[in-house]
Structure 1
Amino acid sequence: MKVLVSNIMMLNDQDRFDAILRDRGITPIWPEVNQFMDEAQCLEFAGEVDGWLAGDDQITETVLKAFLPRLKVISKWGTGIDSIDLKTAKDLGVPICNSPGAFRDAVSEYAIGLLLAATRRLARTDRMIRQGEWPKGRFPGMTGKTMGVIGYGAIGQGVGQRARGLGMEVIANDPFMAETLDVAPDGAALVTFEALLEQADVICLCCNQSAENYHLINADTLARARDGVILCNVARGGLVDEAALIAALKSGKVAAAALDVFEVEPLPTDHPLLGFENVAVSSHNANSTVQAIEYVHENTLNNLWKHLEV
């Protein structure tokens, strides 16, 4: 029995997981991966594996059909499964497993940290002090502002909880939740996307990326947002049109940006976003607490064992 291991987290700890898989009688296949495998690289392993410990790989209809009839399960490391053609997987009877809700606390606390880094210039102040300076900048705080969260699942609600701890009002946009509710389970008002743009001082993206919401934050939506809006993205890079964000940062329409994800990753060293002092950047790593990662490791493997019956 063979399993393809293409998620970065297990690849970075290959010796450990190689031993775990072999102890179960499984032969792991370890590809060379730069963040994720595109369709062409996925197809290199078609027909060779019984299971797949996947990352953000482009698992398209073509890929799924090519891996059958041998493939029995795709156990995705993490929560997001937007890179997988779920309809085709369902039609073909390929189980797709993930770890929903696993990163609620890890990502939501990181979002707040990034926001403070962007607005209060925490990292820059640290660097300046190390260089012998003693800056006394004055920057906006979060208290009394309105936090608008787009995507109010586990992570979004975690952001809402922490924003309230800073003295913020919380509103949320979640079309799926709004189908049955007027108010979120934690009491946050559910509003339309348009209303959120009009009311939010801070916009935090916590939603999945889909064909429908690609470049959700663009020149038009930023123009309709409040002047001096602050943007935080801990979801997916494709939700933000980076060219539009750069223009809005230059004009002052966007007062600060806190970004863990980007349209191209790793972020190029000459990327224009790196030229702004009011932009805090991170390496698509908001989920990286020891507790959360170990839980997802275990759950991802358990999903695999269950479907391979090993």
Structure 2
Amino acid sequence: MSTVLVSNIMMINERDRFDALLREKGVTPIWPEVNQFMDADQCLSYAGEVDGWLAGDDKITRDVLKAFLPRLKVISKWGTGIDSIDLEAAKELGVPICNSPGAFRDAVSEYAIGLLLAATRRLARTDRTIRAGGWPKGRFPGMAGRTMGVIGYGAIGQGVGQRARGLGMEVIAHDPYMQTAPDGIEMVSFETLLERADVITLCCNQTPENFHLLNAETLGRARDGVILCNVARGGLIDEAALIAALESGKVGAAALDVFETEPLPQDHPLMGFENVALSSHNANSTIEAIEYVHANTLDNLFRHLDG
């Protein structure tokens, strides 16, 4: 009988369901206590105990991978992002890494637009004010006629571009791995995107090279009043620089689903801005997308365990 470590939050949140399903398949699950993800030390505490791993955003380093061998047969990552795994080490050590690429194209891209409108049109604030007895008549910026710059033009980035065009926006994109876009939009350099974009949406993976991609220096080169939307990874934005840019007005609004520290601390300065929409790293949260990824993650696991 195989033993599998289940450390992704999405399955942990439905533990009874997936515990029963795994046991029906002849698999014994191990359920760690997880706060968002496991750091390397917590990962190492399970070394040598499992044949498979249903992982979340756990810090799976080279040392972690070595410690799990030779028993570990597969890491089946819940979701699309695999930037928390040392992929080079996994390849060298022969550990298959599986995920669900493209699964959240529609879910995340439509959420990005909704979060963007919440930040610019103050939708949540208006709702709260009405519930408190008010009847506000604010005047806020629209999106039609503006330029949307998308950083990272994979499946989610293309979904954002499609929806932005539906709002009457011009769309440009930057992606170092793509010379031309499947949908024909203009691909530009990072510098050109900073110069031209009224709205910047981050849809890329986080790598050592693009950590704090938007920082004091790069934000300084962006357009005055630029609007930011991040549905990718929190580390892409230097939050201290973002706070300073919001205070100065350099950044006109921000729509944020991800942060450098999650959950966001209750005393975080971003809580104090009315032109910032905050979300809980939950842009993928449609029933359809989540059920697809549940099934695909398990299929990836069983395929390698059975093989």
TM-score by length of 2: 0.99
What do residues 83-124 of structure 1 show as CA deviations (whole Å, max 9, x unaligned)?
A: 000000000000000000000000000000000000000000
Q: Residue 31 of structure 1 corresponds to which residue in structure 2?
A: 32
**Paired residue secondary structure (1:238):** helix
The alpha-carbon deviation at position 36 of structure 1 amounts to: 0.1
**Paired residue secondary structure (2:85):** coil
What do residues 48-81 of structure 1 show as CA deviations (whole Å, max 9, x unaligned)?
A: 0000000000000000000000000000000000
Letter in 2 for 1:252: G
CA distance in 1 between partners of 2:136 and 2:218 (Å): 35
Residue 52, structure 1, aligned to residue 49, structure 2: no
1:240 to 237, 240, 260: 237
Matches within 5 A, 1:223-262: 223-262=220-259
CA distance in 1 between partners of 2:128 and 2:239 (Å): 26
CA distance in 2 between partners of 1:87 and 1:120 (Å): 43
The alpha-carbon deviation at position 257 of structure 1 amounts to: 0.1
**Paired residue secondary structure (1:57):** coil
What do residues 232-260 of structure 1 show as CA deviations (whole Å, max 9, x unaligned)?
A: 00000000000000000000000000000
Letter in 1 for 2:217: D
Q: Residue 285 of structure 1 corresponds to which residue in structure 2?
A: 282
The CA RMSD measured in Å over matched residues stands at: 0.6
CA distance in 2 between partners of 1:161 and 1:143 (Å): 14
Q: Residue 87 of structure 1 corresponds to which residue in structure 2?
A: 88
Residue 308, structure 1, aligned to residue 305, structure 2: yes
What do residues 190-222 of structure 1 show as CA deviations (whole Å, max 9, x unaligned)?
A: 000000000000000000000000000000000
Long gaps (5+) in structure 1: none
1:189 to 182, 186, 191: 186
Letter in 2 for 1:85: D
What do residues 110-147 of structure 1 show as CA deviations (whole Å, max 9, x unaligned)?
A: 00000000000000000000000010000000000000
Matches within 5 A, 1:68-217: 68-178=69-179, 181=180, 184-217=181-214
The alpha-carbon deviation at position 6 of structure 1 amounts to: 0.1
Letter in 1 for 2:40: E
CA distance in 2 between partners of 1:218 and 1:41 (Å): 31
What do residues 162-205 of structure 1 show as CA deviations (whole Å, max 9, x unaligned)?
A: 00000000000001012xx3xx1101100000000000000000
The ranges of structure 1 where at least 4 consecutive aligned residues each deviate by more than 2 angstroms after the TM superposition are none
Letter in 1 for 2:303: K
Matches within 5 A, 1:263-278: 263-278=260-275
CA distance in 2 between partners of 1:187 and 1:148 (Å): 14
CA distance in 2 between partners of 1:26 and 1:255 (Å): 51
CA distance in 2 between partners of 1:26 and 1:19 (Å): 10
TM-score by length of 1: 0.98
The alpha-carbon deviation at position 299 of structure 1 amounts to: 0.1
Q: State the identity %.
A: 82
CA distance in 2 between partners of 1:35 and 1:280 (Å): 21
Long gaps (5+) in structure 2: none
**Paired residue secondary structure (1:232):** strand
Letter in 1 for 2:87: L
The alpha-carbon deviation at position 154 of structure 1 amounts to: 0.1
CA distance in 2 between partners of 1:228 and 1:53 (Å): 42
What do residues 25-49 of structure 1 show as CA deviations (whole Å, max 9, x unaligned)?
A: 1000000000000000000000000
**Paired residue secondary structure (1:203):** strand
Letter in 2 for 1:41: Q
CA distance in 2 between partners of 1:210 and 1:175 (Å): 12
